[in-house]
A and B are shown apart, each in its own frame.
Chain A
Amino acid sequence: MRRAPTQSYPGINLGEGHASAHKATEVVTFGFWVFLMSDLVYFGLMFAIYITMIDAQAGGPGPHELFDLKSIFAQTLILLTSSLTVGLAMLALKYNLPRARIVLWFGVTLVLGLSFLVLEIRDFLNMAAQGGIPQRSGFLSAFYGLVPLHGLHVASGCLWLIVLGIQLRMFGLTDLLMSRMVRLALFWHFLDLIWVGIITIVYFGGLTYG
């Protein structure tokens, strides 16, 4: 394992003598953390709204009719595994493993992300078939304001992965791309964290109190 003594961001291997690259990475990575904090406030507020609207079912279908825990279990497994594969990609990056290894783990992540989205959309369609559409009640509005917002984040993560793959092919493993991978990994773990909140509050909370 090689590690430059000057590096201030340890999760990435930029090689020795790249002090300016380390400095740049540190600044953008910190900026990305601040962005995630701001994004977290969005989700926090949507959680709060969901909690205030659990009872606002207006005679429409509620959690017990609509939520399919088997599918949620599958989605959870897929998303948590994808977090693991992102971690493996970052380890490959850190320990200078062959680039094919990085591509492999990011590729697996992309496939898992897309499968998660397929399952989630199937869930929404099933809910809609039982009358669970956002126009039906405040509760369903809050549900559809929160869960698809997370789905939209996963979708942008997938788009990001695809763009990153193309750039990796075009430019090779440059400092800039490595720094982007670090941010993508942060973003992906953030999505996982939100999902844990969603299963706890939206699904379990909804079934308990709804």
Chain B
Amino acid sequence: MTSVETGILGRLSWDALPITGLIRAPDANEIIANAAAGIVIVGALTVLFLLTWFRLWSPLWRDWLTSADHKKIGIMYIVFAIVMLARGVLEGVVMRAQQAAGPGDGFLKPEHFAELFSTHGTIMIFFVAVPFVFGVANYLVPLMIGARDVAFPVINQISLGLTVSSGMMLMVSLVVGEFSTGGWTAYPPYTGAAFNPGVGPDYWIWAIVVSGVGTTLTGINFAVTIYKLRAPGMKFMRLPMYCWTIICSSILIVFAMPPLGVAALLLAADRYLDFHFFTNDLGGNMMNYANLFWLFGHPEVYLLVLPAYGIYSEVFATFSAKRLYGYNSLVIATMSIAVLSFTVWLHHFFTMGQSALINAVFGIATMLIAIPTGVKVYDWMATLYRGRIRFSVPMLYGLAFLMLFVIGGLSGVILANPTIDYQVHNTLFLVAHFHNVLLPGVLFALLAGYNYWFPKAFGFRLNEFWGRVSVVCWTVGFLLTFMPLYFVGLMGMPRRSYSWEDPSFHPYMIIAVIGALVITCGLFSILIQLWVSIRNREKTRAPIGDPWDGRTLEWSIPSPPPPYNFAIIPEVTDRDNFAAAKERAAAYPKPEAYEDIEMPRNTGIGFILCVLSGVWMFALVWWIWWLALLMTITIILAIIIWSFDTSTEIIIPAEEVRKDHEAWLDLVHSTAAVDRDYEIAPENRGLARPDMEVVT
């Protein structure tokens, strides 16, 4: 395909801007496309303007973009994920509106609708779920295992840079050119050069490749962090459940991201260099792509949902004031799911021509996953049983999860039966199923975690009222949007259809779009909650750091934690170490001596690679070969130059650590402890009066 004549700007021209289409044919479709592009541009300009107006450029650069602090990197991941979440939700609303517009063709063009479901899937998986999950992990894992940072702080920063630059490609694709119409799975040969010569699949490919590199580095980083940096005494069976799920997730990343990278790069070889991996002619084999993609794709859903299980495990234990029930069985179940997740990928294409025997084997393997998952659900219920439950926001999300997720899991078991799958595959039944596991499973967990750990990160609690509003909106919105899809799916409505004719679908489609609007209210109530909480922060401050009577190490330090996390690395003697210390009245010990602390120095390499990789991707998408080559060389040079920088540490003197730590200890001793009745009252300054039913 390289034979096409291209100028200095490759195949980039004015036609790539959506405004050209609006001028030529002003209709609803073009207006929506231009509005979306407009939102991106206005949003970017607003951010730039506000940064300049409030003179925030230098703090942004100094305190955030160049920071190698895992806590700041985690927060940046989450901010990025929430921005992308807003786009993903709004796209979902537009799609529901299109299908609710009644029998017929709706208001969107077919290609536009196809772009919407492709970006919606790609964004929600790669640029909401992954960065949100690993943003939370970034923040928590070192705090939970008693470490001062992750194993490779700078690589952590690079991972963030690569994730953000590839997410930006999806934003750029709204304004310049178009995105892929091939769904988030991008199956060839449809996405090959013969059928899809435009830039769409190329945006998908490079965003996936670059973010995949970032995610792989993250996986390596967290596996090494948990294996090697645990505090003394933190044996594996004393790890908080959340850290167990992050180990499993990291292992999944290390083994499951390469298939995605291979699939995307081979597709790129087909499109750019005329190779024949997946083409229809000259011996190409599309099935290799399907296998590669789902060899990644199925472990992917577990690498997202396992950390969510981890969050729920922490939330249920804390807000039931009980030790987590069945810790050992939860560890075994988590590991089993991680292993089994590599044995089921074929259930994504039961209908693509394997023998009945192979389908049966994979169907049974798929059903097996319900066993460890069931163990987990019972363990969580047993944790709640006879606990002193507080119905705070994270707990409410957790309870919604317990009920809704089981429905989603059971519809998965139905789909795991190949004979049934032949009937319902490629229908909205499937769409209902995976939204039913991903929303209550992953997204509710992330929102629960966001409410639960927010006071740790910022030193004040989030507003309860708006938190509860968001729980209600998300739960009701989810039910209204996706339950009807089970029914229309069974009635035979195919997924990804921009147009339909059967009038009996119509009532369900109307309910679904109402649900989508309720979900939008949920999204906005999260933003309102943040706004209200920031305004009222003086009333909810909890600087001591333990507002929920927590059980694990992260609650034993100030909120927000100092850059070095722990003034003294704790000695771990119990599973719920902080809860046990509180029970023994041995929390908040006064250290005998302080030491100088080595911390990673700020560096710009992550930001530099973010910008360079962004330009590199854009150049490749638009065939600007000279720029792509220039960027390739610059990226290699940047990494080499970085390797010459050997002064990567700064020293925080012991005296400074002592001063800060003792000031905080004074605050601890001068503050009144509150019991759980005052958990959401202003009296809760983050010092908990122990209220444990069972500790050991």
**A170 and B643 alpha carbons, distance in the complex (Å):** 12
A38–B284 touching, CB < 8 Å: no
B228–A171 touching, CB < 8 Å: no
A171–B646 touching, CB < 8 Å: yes
> Which one of B229, B255, B257, B262 has the highest number of Cβ atoms from chain A below 10 Å of its Cβ?
B262
Which residue in A38, A134, A144 is a CB contact (below 8 Å) of B257?
Answer: A38
A19 to chain B minimum Cβ distance, whole angstroms, is 14
**A46 and B292 alpha carbons, distance in the complex (Å):** 10
B86 to chain A minimum Cβ distance, whole angstroms, is 32
B220–A144 touching, CB < 8 Å: no
With a CB–CB cut-off of 8 A, which chain B residues contact A139?
283
> Residue A97 at the B interface, CB < 8 A?
no
Q: Mark A176-197, 1 if CB is under 8 A from B, else 0.
A: 1000000000000000000000
Which residue in B216, B259, B646 is a CB contact (below 8 Å) of A174?
Answer: B646
**In the complex, residue of chain A having the shortest beta-carbon distance to the beta carbon of B641:** A163
**A159 and B637 alpha carbons, distance in the complex (Å):** 11
B50 to chain A minimum Cβ distance, whole angstroms, is 39
With a CB–CB cut-off of 8 A, which chain A residues contact B284?
56, 138, 141
> Residue B349 at the A interface, CB < 8 A?
no
> Residue A198 at the B interface, CB < 8 A?
no
> Residue A173 at the B interface, CB < 8 A?
no
> Residue B57 at the A interface, CB < 8 A?
no
Q: Mark B149-177, 1 if CB is under 8 A from A, else 0.
A: 00110000000000000000000000000
Interface residues of B in 194-228 (CB under 8 A from A): 216, 219-221, 223-224, 227-228
**In the complex, residue of chain A having the shortest beta-carbon distance to the beta carbon of B256:** A41
B643–A134 touching, CB < 8 Å: no
**A176 and B646 alpha carbons, distance in the complex (Å):** 8
Q: Mark B254-269, 1 if CB is under 8 A from A, else 0.
A: 1101110110001001
A145–B228 touching, CB < 8 Å: no
B262–A45 touching, CB < 8 Å: yes
> Residue A77 at the B interface, CB < 8 A?
no
**In the complex, residue of chain A having the shortest beta-carbon distance to the beta carbon of B254:** A38
Interface residues of A in 85-107 (CB under 8 A from B): none
Please judge, given known A-B contacts A42-B262, A45-B292, A167-B643, whether A135 and B285 are in contact too, CB under 8 Å: no
B220–A38 touching, CB < 8 Å: yes
Which residue in A34, A167, A171, A174 is a CB contact (below 8 Å) of B220?
Answer: A34
Interface residues of A in 127-155 (CB under 8 A from B): 134-142, 144-145
Q: Mark B264-293, 1 if CB is under 8 A from A, else 0.
A: 001001100111110101111100100010
B277–A142 touching, CB < 8 Å: yes
Interface residues of A in 31-48 (CB under 8 A from B): 31, 34-35, 37-39, 41-42, 45-46
> Residue A73 at the B interface, CB < 8 A?
no
**In the complex, residue of chain B having the shortest beta-carbon distance to the beta carbon of A162:** B640
**A140 and B282 alpha carbons, distance in the complex (Å):** 10
**A110 and B269 alpha carbons, distance in the complex (Å):** 30
**In the complex, residue of chain A having the shortest beta-carbon distance to the beta carbon of B261:** A42
> Residue B644 at the A interface, CB < 8 A?
yes
**In the complex, residue of chain A having the shortest beta-carbon distance to the beta carbon of B257:** A38
B274–A135 touching, CB < 8 Å: yes
**A139 and B282 alpha carbons, distance in the complex (Å):** 9
Residues of B in contact with A (beta carbons under 8 Å apart)? 151-152, 216, 219-221, 223-224, 227-229, 254-255, 257-259, 261-262, 266, 269-270, 273-277, 279, 281-285, 288, 292, 295, 636, 640, 643-644, 646
Extra A-B contacts (15), CB below 8 Å, given A31-B151, A138-B276: A28-B151, A31-B152, A37-B254, A41-B254, A41-B259, A42-B261, A42-B262, A57-B283, A134-B273, A134-B274, A137-B282, A138-B285, A139-B283, A141-B269, A145-B277
Give 7 nearest A-B pairs by CB, closest first: A56-B283, A138-B283, A41-B258, A141-B275, A58-B283, A58-B282, A31-B224
Residues of A in contact with B (beta carbons under 8 Å apart)? 26-28, 30-31, 34-35, 37-39, 41-42, 45-46, 49, 52-53, 55-58, 60, 134-142, 144-145, 159, 163, 167, 170-171, 174, 176
